[in-house]
C-alpha cells in the first residue's frame, strides 16, 4: 500500500479564511503534506484544483465544501462534502436531503466537529452537529484542531476561579500562545458516538483535520493569527492508504484519494508530537485487509498494529478496550467476535499523554 498525508478541512477568503489557494498550497508543501482539500463555507469553488509546486515539492489541491444552513438559529450542524463536484449549499436547510444529494452526486459526507461548546468570550457559539434525525452519512470528523482548541478553552473559562472578563482574556491569551499544551485528543462524546454507530453495525469512516483559517484573533490590544496554515498542517491530519501510487494526473490521483476517504482506508494522526507516517493496522485470515476493509472472521483471523514510535496502543471493539500495550510499537490480537475494531494510540508530549493516532475500523464478519 502507498501512504499519503493530507488535510481535508481548510478555508480561504472565499469564506472566512485569510489565504488564497496558491498560498495555502505553499504552506502545505512546507509542512510536508501530499494533498489538501479546501472546504469553504457554502461555496464550491471550481477551477482551482490541481498540483501546486515550489522548489520544495508539490501538493495536490482538491476542493470540497463545508455546508451549513445560514438561516438556522442557533447556528450549528456543519457538513463536509467531498467529491460531489457541484454546489450543495442549496440543500443546507434539510440535513437528510443534503446527505442524500451528496451521495447522489457521487460524493462523501462527514459531520464536521460534531461536539462543541459555546465560547462567549469571542462570540463563538456551539457549532456542533444538532440535527441528529439523519442517516446514511459517510462518517465523522472525529478530531478538528480548531474545534478542540475552542472546547479546551471553553472548559478552562468555565473552571476559572474568578469569573470575570479580565481573567477570561488572560486565560484566552495564555492558551492561544501555546495551543500544543491544551490539544489532547478527540472529544470523548464524538468517540462514544462513533462506537455506538459502529456497534449498531453501521460503517462510519473518520477523518481528522485542521479547520485552518489563518484568522486574526483580537482581544483588546492583543492580536494574534490563530493559527497559521503551516502550523496547523503539522498537527492533526488524515493519512490514507492507496493500492497504487499517485501518477501526477489530477483525475487519477483525485479518485484514489476520494475513494480512500470514503472507504475509511485512513487514520487520523496528530503529527506534531511525532510523525504518524508508517502506522499500520492490518487484518488477515482467509483474506487480508487494512482499515476500511472487511475481513472474514474465522479461527485464523488476526489483527496486527504497528506504530512508528513507542506508544500506548488500545484496540477497541464496541466501545470496549479488548487489547492494549503500553510504551510499545506492536500489538497483535486474535478476534473472536464480529464487528468493527479500531485503534487508539497515545504518546507523551509536553508533559502528558496525548491522543496520537485514531484509526478507521477493520470490519470482521
Nearer to Zn ion, 186 or 289 (CB): 186
- Among all chains, which residue has been given the C-alpha cell 514510535? 309
- Rounded-to-integer distance, Cα 100 and Cα 96, Å: 6
Instruction: Report angle CA 240, 242, 245 to the nearest 5 degrees.
Output: 115
Tell me the window of 57-65, 73-81, 97-105, 131-139 that interacts with Zn ion (CB under 5 A).
73-81
Nearer to Zn ion, 193 or 316 (CB): 193
Binding mask 105-124 for Zn ion (x = CB under 5 A): -------x------------
> Can you tell me which of 34, 49, 211, 230 binds Zn ion, judged by CB under 5 A?
211
Sequence-ordered list of residues with C-beta below 8 angstroms from that of 143, at least 6 positions apart, any chain: 185, 186, 190, 208, 209, 236, 268, 270, 355, 358
DSSP letters, 209-238, are E--B--EEEEETTEEEEE--HHHHHTSEEE
In angstroms, give the least distance from the CB of 349 to Zn ion.
25
| Residue of closest CB approach to Zn ion | 78
Nearer to Zn ion, 236 or 347 (CB): 236
Nearer to Zn ion, 88 or 112 (CB): 112
Q: Collapsing DSSP states into helix, strand and coil, what is residue 275? A: coil
Nearer to Zn ion, 111 or 347 (CB): 111
DSSP letters, 162-200, are S-SHHHHHHHHHHHHH-GGGT--SS-HHHHHHHHHHHHT
Query: Which 32-51 residues touch Zn ion, going by CB under 5 A?
Result: none
Instruction: Kindly state whether residue 141 participates in binding Zn ion, applying the rule CB under 5 A.
Output: no
- N- to C-terminal Cα distance for the chain? 23
CB 180 within 8 A of CB 227: no
In angstroms, give the least distance from the CB of 291 to Zn ion.
25
In angstroms, give the least distance from the CB of 122 to Zn ion.
15
Nearer to Zn ion, 187 or 211 (CB): 211
In angstroms, give the least distance from the CB of 95 to Zn ion.
14
**Residue in 259, 239, 206, 249 with CA at minimum distance from that of residue 60:** 249
239's enclosing H/E stretch is: strand 236-242
150's enclosing H/E stretch is: helix 145-158
CB 312 within 8 A of CB 324: yes
In angstroms, give the least distance from the CB of 139 to Zn ion.
15
Nearer to Zn ion, 65 or 253 (CB): 65
Nearer to Zn ion, 211 or 230 (CB): 211
In angstroms, give the least distance from the CB of 245 to Zn ion.
30
- Contacts with Zn ion: how many residues (CB under 5 A)? 4
In angstroms, give the least distance from the CB of 101 to Zn ion.
19
Q: How far is CA 274 from CA 12, 162, 209, 236, in A?
A: 28, 37, 16, 11
Instruction: Kindly state whether residue 150 participates in binding Zn ion, applying the rule CB under 5 A.
Output: no
Largest Cα separation within the chain, whole Å, is: 66
Q: What is the CA radius of gyration of the chain?
A: 20
Nearer to Zn ion, 145 or 194 (CB): 145
In angstroms, give the least distance from the CB of 359 to Zn ion.
24
Instruction: Kindly state whether residue 78 participates in binding Zn ion, applying the rule CB under 5 A.
Output: yes
- Among all chains, which residue has been given the C-alpha cell 496520537? 356
In angstroms, give the least distance from the CB of 287 to Zn ion.
38
Rounded (to 5) percent helix, strand, coil in the chain: 25, 35, 40
**What residue ranges bind Zn ion (CB under 5 A)?**
66, 78, 112, 211
Amino acid at each position: 500500500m502507498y501512504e499519503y498525508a493530507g488535510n481535508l478541512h481548510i478555508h480561504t477568503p472565499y469564506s472566512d479564511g485569510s489565504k488564497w489557494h496558491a498560498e495555502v498550497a505553499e504552506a502545505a508543501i512546507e509542512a510536508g503534506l501530499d494533498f489538501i482539500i479546501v472546504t469553504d463555507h457554502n461555496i464550491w469553488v471550481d477551477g482551482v484544483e490541481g498540483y501546486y509546486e515550489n522548489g520544495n515539492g508539490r501538493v495536490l489541491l482538491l476542493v470540497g465544501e463545508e455546508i451549513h444552513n445560514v438561516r438556522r438559529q442557533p447556528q450549528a450542524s456543519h457538513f463536509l462534502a467531498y467529491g460531489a463536484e457541484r454546489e450543495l449549499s442549496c440543500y443546507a436547510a434539510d440535513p437528510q436531503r443534503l446527505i442524500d444529494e451528496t451521495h447522489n452526486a457521487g460524493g462523501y459526507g462527514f459531520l464536521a466537529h460534531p461536539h462543541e461548546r459555546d465560547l462567549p468570550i469571542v462570540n463563538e457559539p456551539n457549532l456542533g452537529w444538532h440535527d441528529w434525525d439523519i442517516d446514511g452519512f459517510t462518517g465523522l470528523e472525529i478530531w478538528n484542531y480548531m474545534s478542540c482548541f475552542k472546547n479546551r478553552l471553553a472548559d478552562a473559562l468555565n473552571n476559572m476561579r474568578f469569573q470575570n472578563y479580565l481573567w477570561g482574556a488572560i486565560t484566552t491569551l495564555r492558551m492561544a500562545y501555546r495551543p500544543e499544551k491544551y490539544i489532547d485528543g478527540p472529544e470523548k462524546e464524538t468517540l462514544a458516538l462513533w462506537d455506538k454507530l459502529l456497534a449498531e453495525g453501521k460503517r462510519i469512516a473518520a477523518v481528522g483535520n485542521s479547520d485552518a483559517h489563518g484568522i486574526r484573533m483580537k482581544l483588546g490590544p492583543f492580536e494574534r493569527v490563530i493559527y497559521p496554515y503551516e502550523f496547523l498542517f503539522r498537527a492533526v491530519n488524515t493519512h490514507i492508504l492507496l493500492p497504487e501510487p499517485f501518477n501526477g494526473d489530477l483525475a487519477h490521483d483525485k479518485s484514489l484519494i476520494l475513494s480512500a476517504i470514503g472507504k475509511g482506508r485512513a487514520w487520523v494522526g496528530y503529527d506534531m508530537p511525532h510523525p504518524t507516517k508508517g502506522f499500520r493496522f492490518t487484518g488477515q485470515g482467509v483474506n487480508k485487509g487494512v482499515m476500511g476493509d472487511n475481513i472474514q472472521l474465522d479461527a485464523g483471523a488476526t489483527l496486527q498494529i504497528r506504530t512508528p514510535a513507542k506508544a500506548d496502543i488500545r484496540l477497541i471493539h464496541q466501545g470496549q478496550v479488548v487489547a492494549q500495550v503500553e510504551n510499545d510499537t506492536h500489538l497483535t490480537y486474535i478476534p473472536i467476535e464480529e464487528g468493527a475494531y479500531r485503534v487508539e494510540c497515545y504518546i507523551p508530549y509536553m508533559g502528558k499523554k496525548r491522543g496520537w493516532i485514531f484509526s478507521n475500523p477493520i470490519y470482521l464478519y
